[in-house]
Amino acid sequence: MILDSKIPEGPLKDKWTNHKNNINLVNPANKRNIDIIVVGTGLAGGSASATLAELGYNVKSFCYQDSPRRAHSIAAQGGINAAKNYQGDGDSTYRLFYDTIKGGDYRSREANVYRLAEVSASIIDQCVAQGVPFARDYGGLLDNRSFGGVLVSRTFYAKGQTGQQLLLGAYSAMNRQIAKGKIKMYNRHEMLDVVIVDGKARGIIARNLVTGEIERHSAHAVVLASGGYGNVFFLSTNAMGSNVTAAWKAHKKGAVFANPCYTQIHPTCIPVHGTQQSKLTLMSESLRNDGRIWVPKNLEDAKAVREGKLKAVDIKEEDRDYYLERRYPSFGNLVPRDVASRAAKERCDAGYGVVANDTNEGVFLDFASAIMRYGKEEAHIKGIENPSNEEIRKLGEKVIENKYGNLFEMYMQITDENPYKTPMKIYPAVHYTMGGIWVDYNLMTTVPGLYATGEANFSDHGANRLGASALMQGLADGYFVLPYTIGDYLANDIRTGAIPTNTPEFDAAEKKVVDEINKLVNNKGTKSVDYFHKKLGLIMWNKVGMSRTTEGLKEAIQEISELREQFWKEVRVPGSADDKNSELEKAGRVADFLELGELFARDALEREESCGGHFREEYKTEEGEALRRDDEFAYVSAWEYTGKPSEAILHKENLNFENVELKTRSYK
């Protein structure tokens, strides 16, 4: 197999424009005869569905939730990047491109990233036109804030609910097309296989999650916008239902899977409270604009904090280690996520953690100095002379409440602690997966007619995603990239006519799905699906998590493979296949995670370097920073399925950097 990225010729800044000028179009009358299936209704899927329908295609959209509005993009908090340079702080398309390439530790494609930066500004225009209520200043213009890994303010936001507002925007655009009959919406449906006819993706097999009915849906092209696979770790910030199934089934039908080991462990999540936990909660990166991260300087103090004998606020300034500010003076608390996460782990492993859970995992995120700083500003604005500390604190708390009120409330609900008065406790958690289905410049996978967008593909974030870039990529793909590039392929389908579903290919795909479901519900096991999912999660977190070693990865591969065998022998799925059965849904998803997990660990083992979110203990500098090996590993690892994860074949797409110089990332 040869991986052809189909990157257009020409200078970087002209590639996208030239490409759009040169690809095939489908005329409006012919679009009416073409069907497209979109799986997933988050930012990538929702925006693609709406735009494709506006263009005139017949769209069928699928989501496992009870409404497209509930896809997990809704939970994104902090913001969306765009190179608008409204702040006049030197931002530009090139700078956003450069920050993204550098932030991704030089493991993404130049051409894709440049296009992303190029269309970013249109996203903001589009969303405002749709009525997305972004934050504004008193002059009525849009406000911005800063995120990790950059030196400009280019992040647009709607309090701590930016994902919600953008998704509701995409959902509203979908609603307009649903009302017109151009989108047929299938809620509470899960895609369980893709159907390939004559080498092309021509439909899917889906299960109606309410009735259990197995359905056949045909189309001229299939778009997977099914999100990431962070739930392979069991505990993550993903929604409970987020899964790899659609992507994995596509992989098994020929779509090559790229860089599965690139995982983002987000530095600011609420620490694990105990073994009864099912889900982790993120605290937005935007908090690092004003929060300072620290642990006690002395081991005894850390121990006393954990034992409840010492309060954070009683630790003197000189006894605190603001370790990010110490190690990275120029970016300070706003280093990229992978760097911040590893630094937290380093401190906690060394015994300075402040949370009394099994592993003492937790550090402080402290707003006291920001509260006082803002308080002084406010007192000045209000003309209060010689304000008392208490007055300043009150004014400052008000400012912080306006900026982050909902996040502070969320924190209080979960932990029963007041972050206005005492520092938050945070720790890294699995949040996003940069890896995903391999796609070319047109976002087409290695299966003709099968596309992947948003977090489901691998294309734009390299080995580490910058904050506020996931929303940008999802909407860029769905509103502005895929709707153009898909026409190039569909131009050959204008005379094909409707794709029949009564064919041997659909028969075979349906039979396979039904067989697997029957196997699960008829299994005479004794252990719940969660039993296996939790075990898988522990293997992944301990051996394929924030730091990885040859030995640990080899053990993980072995253990996951054994766990998978045990799963199929001993899992118990109660209830039947012909009505709402959440355990059956979970079982299918965990079965796929048990295969993906092994490939994930193999990919991590094969990549003998450290880059972005992938950190191998064997490859680090003397100061403990990630050590890339560009001579040998400046490529995309693309895995071809041949029957078992252990037998997957590795293909390499070399990454060529013509516009940026490969450098060691430094945030010092």
Which residues, in sequence order, are bridge partners of residue 436? 258
Between 68 and 254, CB nearer to another protein: 68
Cα–Cα distance measured from residue 80 to residue 473, given in angstroms and rounded to the nearest whole number: 9
Q: How far is the CB of 556 from another protein (least distance, A)?
A: 25
Q: How far is the CB of 400 from another protein (least distance, A)?
A: 17
E runs forming strands in 102-199: 155-156, 183-186, 189-197
Between 382 and 580, CB nearer to another protein: 580
Name the segment binding another protein (CB under 8 A); options: 220-228, 352-360, 434-442, 543-551.
Answer: 352-360
The most distant pair of C-alpha atoms in the chain lies apart, rounded to whole Å, by 83
Cα–Cα distance measured from residue 255 to residue 122, given in angstroms and rounded to the nearest whole number: 31
CA dihedral over 336, 443, 214, 46, signed as positive or negative: positive
Cα–Cα distance measured from residue 118 to residue 146, given in angstroms and rounded to the nearest whole number: 19
Q: How far is the CB of 533 from another protein (least distance, A)?
A: 11
Of 18, 278, 330, 664, the residue at the interface with another protein (CB under 8 A) is 278
Q: Does 50 bind another protein (CB under 8 A)?
A: yes
Helix (H, G, I), strand (E, B) or coil at 222: strand
Identified catalytic residue from 337, 607, 628, 665: 337
Applying the rule CB under 8 A, the residues between 503 and 562 that interact with another protein are 526, 528, 530-531
CB under 8 Å to 607, separation ≥6 — which residues?
Answer: 261, 614, 616, 633, 637
Of 134, 229, 331, 364, the residue at the interface with another protein (CB under 8 A) is 134
Between 191 and 557, CB nearer to another protein: 191
Applying the rule CB under 8 A, the residues between 181 and 210 that interact with another protein are 185, 187, 210
Q: Give the pair of three-digit tokens for residue 625.
A: 């920073």
Q: Does 66 bind another protein (CB under 8 A)?
A: yes
Instruction: Quickly list DSSP for 405-458.
Output: HHHHHHHHHHH---TTTS-EEEEEEEEEES-EE---TTSB-SSTTEEE-GGGB-
Rounded to the nearest 10 degrees, the angle between the axes of helix 582-606 and helix 529-543 is 20
Of 37, 111, 221, 282, the residue at the interface with another protein (CB under 8 A) is 282
Of 151, 299, 350, 414, the residue at the interface with another protein (CB under 8 A) is 414
E runs forming strands in 232-319: 257-258, 263-269, 292-296
Of 2, 11, 198, 276, the residue at the interface with another protein (CB under 8 A) is 276
Q: How far is the CB of 367 from another protein (least distance, A)?
A: 19
Q: Give the pair of three-digit tokens for residue 89.
A: 């702080």
Q: How far is the CB of 569 from another protein (least distance, A)?
A: 17
Q: How far is the CB of 524 from another protein (least distance, A)?
A: 11
Q: Does 133 bind another protein (CB under 8 A)?
A: yes
Between 82 and 392, CB nearer to another protein: 82
Of 9, 28, 29, 179, the residue at the interface with another protein (CB under 8 A) is 179
Interface map 578-617 toward another protein (x if CB under 8 A): -xx-xx----------------------------------
Q: Give the pair of three-digit tokens for residue 620.
A: 């680090």
> Taking phi first (over 0 means left), then psi (-120 to 50 degrees means alpha), and beta for anything else, what does residue 194 get?
beta
> Which residue has tokens 């982050």?
404
Of 161, 289, 433, 446, the residue at the interface with another protein (CB under 8 A) is 161
E runs forming strands in 103-188: 155-156, 183-186
Interface map 432-471 toward another protein (x if CB under 8 A): ----------------------------------------
Between 36 and 185, CB nearer to another protein: 185
Q: Does 319 bind another protein (CB under 8 A)?
A: no
Q: Does 577 bind another protein (CB under 8 A)?
A: no
Q: How far is the CB of 377 from another protein (least distance, A)?
A: 18
Cα–Cα distance measured from residue 513 to residue 214, given in angstroms and rounded to the nearest whole number: 8
Between 279 and 663, CB nearer to another protein: 279
Q: Does 354 bind another protein (CB under 8 A)?
A: no
Q: Does 570 bind another protein (CB under 8 A)?
A: no
Q: Does 356 bind another protein (CB under 8 A)?
A: yes
Cα–Cα distance measured from residue 351 to residue 347, given in angstroms and rounded to the nearest whole number: 7
Of 23, 30, 33, 54, the residue at the interface with another protein (CB under 8 A) is 54
Nearest to 624 by CA among 349, 291, 251, 235: 349
Active site residue 337: yes
Let me know if 600 is exposed, middle or buried by CB neighbors in 10 A (0-12, 13-18, 19+).
Answer: buried
Q: Give the pair of three-digit tokens for residue 481.
A: 């990239």
Name the segment binding another protein (CB under 8 A); options: 167-175, 370-378, 550-558, 620-628.
Answer: 167-175
Rounded to the nearest 10 degrees, the angle between the axes of helix 582-606 and helix 550-570 is 160
Q: Which residues of 557-579 are buried (b: 16+ CB within 10 A; e: fewer)?
A: bebbbebbebbeeebbbeeebee
Between 179 and 381, CB nearer to another protein: 179
Of 15, 31, 60, 69, the residue at the interface with another protein (CB under 8 A) is 69
Name the segment binding another protein (CB under 8 A); options: 176-184, 285-293, 614-622, 633-641.
Answer: 176-184
Q: How far is the CB of 163 from another protein (least distance, A)?
A: 8
Of 28, 88, 90, 274, the residue at the interface with another protein (CB under 8 A) is 274
Interface map 7-46 toward another protein (x if CB under 8 A): ----------------------------------------
Applying the rule CB under 8 A, the residues between 215 and 244 that interact with another protein are 237, 239-241
Name the segment binding another protein (CB under 8 A); options: 284-292, 350-358, 375-383, 542-550.
Answer: 350-358
Between 176 and 252, CB nearer to another protein: 176
Residue 96: alpha-carbon gap to chain centroid? 19
Of 41, 58, 85, 164, the residue at the interface with another protein (CB under 8 A) is 164
Report how many residues bind another protein under the rule CB under 8 A: 89
The angle at the Cα of 64, spanning 116 to 528, to the nearest 5 degrees, equals: 120
Nearest to 158 by CA among 80, 62, 216: 80
Q: Are 520 and 571 in contact (CB under 8 A)?
A: yes
Between 158 and 544, CB nearer to another protein: 158
Of 85, 112, 153, 165, the residue at the interface with another protein (CB under 8 A) is 165
Q: Give the pair of three-digit tokens for residue 189.
A: 């449906």
Name the segment binding another protein (CB under 8 A); options: 139-147, 219-227, 246-254, 545-553.
Answer: 139-147
Applying the rule CB under 8 A, the residues between 72 and 131 that interact with another protein are 72, 74-75, 84, 86, 119, 122-131
Cα dist. 336→91, 152, 288, 327, 667 in Å? Answer: 18, 14, 11, 13, 8
Helix (H, G, I), strand (E, B) or coil at 320: strand
Cα–Cα distance measured from residue 335 to residue 328, given in angstroms and rounded to the nearest whole number: 8
Residues in the chain: 668
Cα–Cα distance measured from residue 161 to residue 73, given in angstroms and rounded to the nearest whole number: 10
Which residues, in sequence order, are bridge partners of residue 620? 626
The residues assigned a catalytic role are 337
